[in-house]
Amino acid sequence: MSVIDTIKEQIENNTILLYMKGTPRFPQCGFSSRASAALVDCGERFAFVNILEAPEIRAELPKYANWPTFPQLWVNGELVGGCDIICEMAENGELKELVAAAAKQEGSEEA
């Protein structure tokens, strides 16, 4: 499977997915730390990919997403954005609404 196929599969199989440096418990950059904290504050489970452990994804995802930086938040197969967008959405309540709706939709699909 190609790297792009792997990325597509990750995005398809995870309703809420954060590509980040490190993990939510041990973020490896300030931007990833702020983005993952904003997601954790939403109170829903989310998947993440530590791009520091996946250099091929780190190299290919910016081209695939047409978004040059990390972190990257994907919800329902759509790129939401990076740290600034995530934090802005968290401040105005949009992130919690988006994440809650996605989690609810995911839960209904599994039933």
Burial string for 25-41 (b: 16+ CB within 10 Å, else e) reads eebeeebbbbbbebbee
The enclosing domain of 46 has a CATH number of 3.40.30.10
Q: Is 70 annotated in some ligand binding site? A: yes
Distances (CA, A) of 76 to 25, 50, 73: 23, 19, 10
| Residue 12 lies inside a defined structural domain of this protein | yes
Q: Is 58 annotated in some ligand binding site? A: yes
Q: Is 84 annotated in some ligand binding site? A: yes
Q: Is the pLDDT of residue 107 over 80?
A: no
| Residue 9 lies inside a defined structural domain of this protein | yes
Spatial contact of 79 and 72, defined as CB atoms under 8 Å apart? yes
| Residue 111 lies inside a defined structural domain of this protein | no
| Residue 86 lies inside a defined structural domain of this protein | yes
**Total number of domains in the chain:** 1
For the segment 106-111, the average pLDDT, to the nearest whole number, is 62
pLDDT value of residue 111 = 42
For the segment 74-93, the average pLDDT, to the nearest whole number, is 98
| Residue 30 lies inside a defined structural domain of this protein | yes
Range of the domain at 63: 3-106
Note the pLDDT tens digit of each residue in 20-40.
999 999 999 999 999 999 999
The span from the CA of 78 to the CA of 104, in Å, is 17
Q: Is 83 annotated in some ligand binding site? A: yes
pLDDT value of residue 106 = 78
